[in-house]
Structure 1
């Protein structure tokens, strides 16, 4: 059974529309979560808002949103005023234009969702839109009110369904020039560049996310289990890291190790299924 949809509406391209559903593609529900406890009693503690000047607790009915316009000076916004600013939703994912995937910088990617037909009657229109984009190797840029905000969404074919990725707005993404402005414009060439390319060639592979483990989550799970069983886990000693002094020597050593360890590329799950 498919997971329950978190949003349903229409995918609209000109006069063509298709009932669709959004499903969460990423989730943190499987991560280990902790509660804050009172060490003395073992009971959970609860958070309480207090007045910054008087230190007295402020009950929920007395709490209100405020925007700071200057130090200590706030514009107070009532709940109904904020609710009035939320855009009306017509439950329509309206396609503005089609682009090639290489035309968009993935730094703007926010959150992925699976996009499916909302019901059996929508499957033909859904397949028509999906296959049209697949044949043309295009993605759609659409707009919709999702979860109380106007969002720009990138829609791409993906297997029998589609992926809808919400995009950050321009003002939400810092210019790369801010982070890169202090990087020197060094020219790398000759043997140093050849060694770097050789190391990359010998470590070529294919994308297989299952090959990577969340070591932190695994360590937390082991720790919780050990505490339950009354065992003690000795803290790991931090690995000693040596500063690289001679970059060329390090490259030559890495190239030698990479050549020795080079192995056939690992097949992805999809490739394994095809060969099987």
Structure 2
């Protein structure tokens, strides 16, 4: 079944405007998820809001949002007041400008999406923009109201369409200097640097998301299956991490392991190629 668009509107660039459909670029629907169950009854439990002073449940019609201005002091906002403050959507992604692809800092990336010409639209203008961006190797910066929030988006060519990603605002991103402020400026030279380079070179490859395994989710799925089949679950003891005593020795061992792993991959690749040649012959 074809994916369903989560938003439909227009891309506007200067005097150009053309209809597009936006699709979610990622989903968590395939992850293992759990419900909260009452162990005594086996029934599913639900959440409710409790008044901190009276300890009594608060009915939905009495639930309002409040902003704390001081300890125990709140400014109460009604749903109507909040709705009035939200920006109205004009269903338009306005292109503000273009930047080189490699200038987009990944720490600002938030949620991924895909953009395609709207249903039934040939999309010639869409294709012109996409190809122009592809050939210049640039990304577009656009602004839109998405899902009741003002968003800045970065758009880049992706196959016959566009990939888009909402961006975190500058005030939301913690500066790296705050985290790295107290790190010493160490100069790494000599054998340690050579070993590090060797390890990197033997581990070099291509970015392939298909090789990324969600081992935790897979383990949960296997655990659920075993439990459902009535199998006994044994919890193994946690392994303690070994401390690295000598960095140089550890690098030497890592380099040996990386070299051995690379040799095995090369041998396996040679065997596969030889087998393919025999089949072809």
Q: Is the CA contact (8 Å cut-off) linking 1:10 and 1:91 kept in structure 2?
A: yes
Secondary structure in 2 matching 1:43? coil
Q: Does 1:114 align with 2:114?
A: yes
Instruction: Give the alignment of 1:109-148 within 5 angstroms.
Output: 109-148=109-148
The equivalent of 2:278 in structure 1 is: none
Instruction: Give the alignment of 1:52-131 within 5 angstroms.
Output: 52-131=52-131
Give, in whole Å, the separation in 1 of the partners of 2:105 and 2:245.
35
Greater displacement, 91-100 / 44-53: 44-53
Secondary structure in 1 matching 2:123? helix
- 1:240: how far off? 3.3
The equivalent of 1:228 in structure 2 is: 228
Secondary structure in 2 matching 1:120? coil
Q: Is the CA contact (8 Å cut-off) linking 1:18 and 1:122 kept in structure 2?
A: no
- 1:236: how far off? 2.5
Measured at CA, do residues 112 and 138 of structure 1 come closer, stay the same or move farther in structure 2, by a change above 3 Å? same
Measured at CA, do residues 116 and 264 of structure 1 come closer, stay the same or move farther in structure 2, by a change above 3 Å? farther
Greater displacement, 146-155 / 234-243: 234-243
The equivalent of 2:13 in structure 1 is: 13
Give, in whole Å, the separation in 1 of the partners of 2:10 and 2:100.
23
Give, in whole Å, the separation in 1 of the partners of 2:54 and 2:268.
63
Give, in whole Å, the separation in 1 of the partners of 2:122 and 2:93.
15
Measured at CA, do residues 249 and 233 of structure 1 come closer, stay the same or move farther in structure 2, by a change above 3 Å? same
Measured at CA, do residues 197 and 30 of structure 1 come closer, stay the same or move farther in structure 2, by a change above 3 Å? same
- 1:76: how far off? 0.4
Q: Does 1:194 align with 2:194?
A: yes
What CA deviation, in whole Å up to 9, does each residue of 1:14-60 have, x standing for no partner?
11111001101100011111111111111111112111111111111
State TM-score, norm by structure 2: 0.92
Greater displacement, 249-258 / 75-84: 249-258
Give, in whole Å, the separation in 1 of the partners of 2:38 and 2:267.
52
What CA deviation, in whole Å up to 9, does each residue of 1:135-193 have, x standing for no partner?
11111000000000110000000011110100000111111111111211110001110
Number of aligned residue pairs: give it: 267
Give, in whole Å, the separation in 1 of the partners of 2:266 and 2:31.
33
Give, in whole Å, the separation in 1 of the partners of 2:164 and 2:267.
31
Q: Is the CA contact (8 Å cut-off) linking 1:19 and 1:122 kept in structure 2?
A: no
The equivalent of 1:274 in structure 2 is: none
Name stretches of at least 5 consecutive residues in structure 1 with no aligned partner: 268-276
Secondary structure in 2 matching 1:49? coil
Q: Is the CA contact (8 Å cut-off) linking 1:93 and 1:142 kept in structure 2?
A: yes
The equivalent of 1:273 in structure 2 is: none
Measured at CA, do residues 123 and 265 of structure 1 come closer, stay the same or move farther in structure 2, by a change above 3 Å? farther
Measured at CA, do residues 146 and 58 of structure 1 come closer, stay the same or move farther in structure 2, by a change above 3 Å? same
Q: Does 1:51 align with 2:51?
A: yes
- 1:265: how far off? 11
- 1:122: how far off? 4.2
Secondary structure in 1 matching 2:47? coil
Q: Is the CA contact (8 Å cut-off) linking 1:206 and 1:266 kept in structure 2?
A: no
